[in-house]
Amino acid sequence: MNEKDFGTMVFDFPKVLGSFTLEEMNQKVNYLKEFGFSHEDVGRLLAFKPQLMACSIEDRWKPLVKYLYYLGVQRDGMKRILAIKPMVYCVDLEATIVPKVRFLQDIGIREDAIGNMLVKFPSLLTYSLQKKIRPVVRS
Protein backbone atom coordinates (compact mmCIF):
# COMPACT_ATOMS: atom_id res chain seq x y z
CA MET A 1 0.00 0.00 0.00
CA ASN A 2 1.45 3.35 -0.91
CA GLU A 3 1.64 6.30 1.46
CA LYS A 4 -1.38 8.09 -0.02
CA ASP A 5 -3.56 4.96 0.17
CA PHE A 6 -2.44 4.40 3.75
CA GLY A 7 -3.49 7.95 4.58
CA THR A 8 -6.88 7.38 2.98
CA MET A 9 -7.36 4.19 4.98
CA VAL A 10 -6.48 5.81 8.30
CA PHE A 11 -8.62 8.87 7.56
CA ASP A 12 -11.65 6.76 6.63
CA PHE A 13 -11.25 4.19 9.40
CA PRO A 14 -8.83 5.29 12.15
CA LYS A 15 -9.74 2.22 14.20
CA VAL A 16 -7.56 0.19 11.83
CA LEU A 17 -4.42 1.55 13.50
CA GLY A 18 -4.83 0.18 17.00
CA SER A 19 -7.58 -2.39 17.04
CA PHE A 20 -6.10 -5.31 15.14
CA THR A 21 -2.98 -7.34 15.66
CA LEU A 22 -0.51 -7.78 12.84
CA GLU A 23 -1.46 -11.47 12.79
CA GLU A 24 -5.17 -10.63 12.30
CA MET A 25 -4.38 -8.20 9.50
CA ASN A 26 -2.07 -10.70 7.79
CA GLN A 27 -4.76 -13.40 7.97
CA LYS A 28 -7.22 -11.09 6.25
CA VAL A 29 -4.70 -10.04 3.60
CA ASN A 30 -3.85 -13.68 2.90
CA TYR A 31 -7.53 -14.65 2.73
CA LEU A 32 -8.20 -11.86 0.24
CA LYS A 33 -5.24 -13.01 -1.85
CA GLU A 34 -6.88 -16.46 -2.10
CA PHE A 35 -9.47 -14.84 -4.39
CA GLY A 36 -6.71 -14.06 -6.86
CA PHE A 37 -5.96 -10.49 -5.82
CA SER A 38 -2.35 -9.38 -6.02
CA HIS A 39 -0.67 -7.93 -2.96
CA GLU A 40 -1.09 -4.45 -4.50
CA ASP A 41 -4.79 -5.06 -5.25
CA VAL A 42 -5.39 -6.07 -1.63
CA GLY A 43 -3.62 -2.89 -0.52
CA ARG A 44 -5.88 -0.75 -2.70
CA LEU A 45 -8.99 -2.64 -1.61
CA LEU A 46 -8.17 -2.15 2.06
CA ALA A 47 -7.17 1.47 1.50
CA PHE A 48 -10.60 2.31 0.14
CA LYS A 49 -12.66 -0.12 2.24
CA PRO A 50 -10.65 -0.48 5.45
CA GLN A 51 -13.83 -1.52 7.27
CA LEU A 52 -13.15 -4.98 5.82
CA MET A 53 -10.49 -5.33 8.51
CA ALA A 54 -13.22 -5.15 11.14
CA CYS A 55 -15.18 -8.04 9.62
CA SER A 56 -14.54 -11.53 10.89
CA ILE A 57 -13.24 -14.14 8.47
CA GLU A 58 -14.98 -16.91 10.41
CA ASP A 59 -18.26 -15.10 11.14
CA ARG A 60 -18.77 -13.12 7.92
CA TRP A 61 -16.43 -14.00 5.06
CA LYS A 62 -16.40 -17.80 5.16
CA PRO A 63 -20.18 -18.24 5.57
CA LEU A 64 -20.79 -15.84 2.67
CA VAL A 65 -18.24 -17.60 0.45
CA LYS A 66 -19.85 -20.96 1.24
CA TYR A 67 -23.32 -19.58 0.47
CA LEU A 68 -22.21 -17.98 -2.80
CA TYR A 69 -20.52 -21.23 -3.79
CA TYR A 70 -23.82 -23.02 -3.09
CA LEU A 71 -25.47 -20.56 -5.50
CA GLY A 72 -22.93 -21.51 -8.17
CA VAL A 73 -20.63 -18.51 -7.80
CA GLN A 74 -17.01 -19.47 -8.48
CA ARG A 75 -13.85 -17.81 -7.15
CA ASP A 76 -13.67 -15.27 -10.00
CA GLY A 77 -17.27 -14.24 -9.31
CA MET A 78 -16.57 -13.84 -5.61
CA LYS A 79 -13.52 -11.76 -6.49
CA ARG A 80 -15.68 -9.55 -8.72
CA ILE A 81 -18.25 -9.06 -5.94
CA LEU A 82 -15.46 -8.21 -3.53
CA ALA A 83 -13.88 -5.75 -5.96
CA ILE A 84 -17.15 -3.98 -6.81
CA LYS A 85 -19.05 -4.13 -3.52
CA PRO A 86 -16.60 -5.21 -0.79
CA MET A 87 -18.93 -4.37 2.07
CA VAL A 88 -21.12 -7.32 1.02
CA TYR A 89 -18.50 -9.37 2.87
CA CYS A 90 -19.35 -7.56 6.11
CA VAL A 91 -23.13 -7.80 6.15
CA ASP A 92 -25.07 -10.39 8.09
CA LEU A 93 -25.71 -13.33 5.77
CA GLU A 94 -28.91 -14.58 7.42
CA ALA A 95 -30.48 -11.17 8.01
CA THR A 96 -29.48 -9.40 4.81
CA ILE A 97 -28.50 -11.69 1.97
CA VAL A 98 -30.53 -14.87 2.43
CA PRO A 99 -33.91 -13.03 2.40
CA LYS A 100 -33.00 -11.38 -0.91
CA VAL A 101 -31.99 -14.69 -2.46
CA ARG A 102 -35.20 -16.32 -1.16
CA PHE A 103 -37.23 -13.51 -2.67
CA LEU A 104 -35.53 -14.01 -6.03
CA GLN A 105 -36.21 -17.76 -5.79
CA ASP A 106 -39.85 -17.09 -4.85
CA ILE A 107 -40.40 -15.03 -7.98
CA GLY A 108 -39.09 -17.91 -10.08
CA ILE A 109 -35.44 -17.16 -10.74
CA ARG A 110 -33.31 -20.33 -10.89
CA GLU A 111 -30.50 -20.69 -8.33
CA ASP A 112 -27.76 -20.82 -10.97
CA ALA A 113 -29.19 -17.66 -12.54
CA ILE A 114 -29.29 -15.97 -9.12
CA GLY A 115 -25.58 -16.62 -8.64
CA ASN A 116 -24.79 -15.19 -12.07
CA MET A 117 -27.01 -12.18 -11.42
CA LEU A 118 -25.27 -11.44 -8.09
CA VAL A 119 -21.88 -11.58 -9.80
CA LYS A 120 -23.03 -9.15 -12.50
CA PHE A 121 -24.94 -6.88 -10.11
CA PRO A 122 -23.43 -7.22 -6.61
CA SER A 123 -25.20 -4.03 -5.51
CA LEU A 124 -28.41 -6.08 -5.35
CA LEU A 125 -27.05 -7.52 -2.13
CA THR A 126 -26.92 -4.08 -0.53
CA TYR A 127 -30.29 -2.78 -1.70
CA SER A 128 -33.22 -2.76 0.69
CA LEU A 129 -35.53 -5.67 -0.06
CA GLN A 130 -38.59 -3.76 1.14
CA LYS A 131 -37.81 -0.30 -0.22
CA LYS A 132 -36.00 -1.02 -3.47
CA ILE A 133 -36.21 -4.60 -4.75
CA ARG A 134 -39.84 -5.55 -4.02
CA PRO A 135 -41.31 -2.27 -5.38
CA VAL A 136 -39.35 -2.59 -8.63
CA VAL A 137 -40.44 -6.22 -9.12
CA ARG A 138 -44.09 -5.36 -8.44
CA SER A 139 -44.07 -2.51 -10.98
**CA dist., res. 136 & res. 34, Å (int):** 36
What would the pLDDT profile of 39-95 be if each residue is shown by its tens digit?
889 988 988 888 888 889 999 999 999 999 999 999 999 999 999 999 999 999 999
| Nearest 10 degrees: Cα torsion 11, 122, 34, 31 | 50
**DSSP class of 110:** -
Q: How many CA atoms lie within 13 A of 63 on its CB side?
A: 15
For position 86, what pLDDT does the model report? 93
b (16+ CB within 10 A) / e for 105-121: eeeeeeeeebbbbbbee
Helix (H) or strand (E) holding 7: helix 3-12
What would the pLDDT profile of 90-129 be if each residue is shown by its tens digit?
999 999 999 999 999 999 998 789 999 999 999 999 999 9
For position 18, what pLDDT does the model report? 64
**DSSP class of 21:** -
**CA dist., res. 70 & res. 74, Å (int):** 9
The crossing angle, in degrees rounded to 10, of helices 75-84 and 111-120 is 40
First to last CA, the chain: 45
83 compared with 10, residue with greater pLDDT: 83
Q: Angle at CA 21, nearest 5°, toward 19 and 27?
A: 120
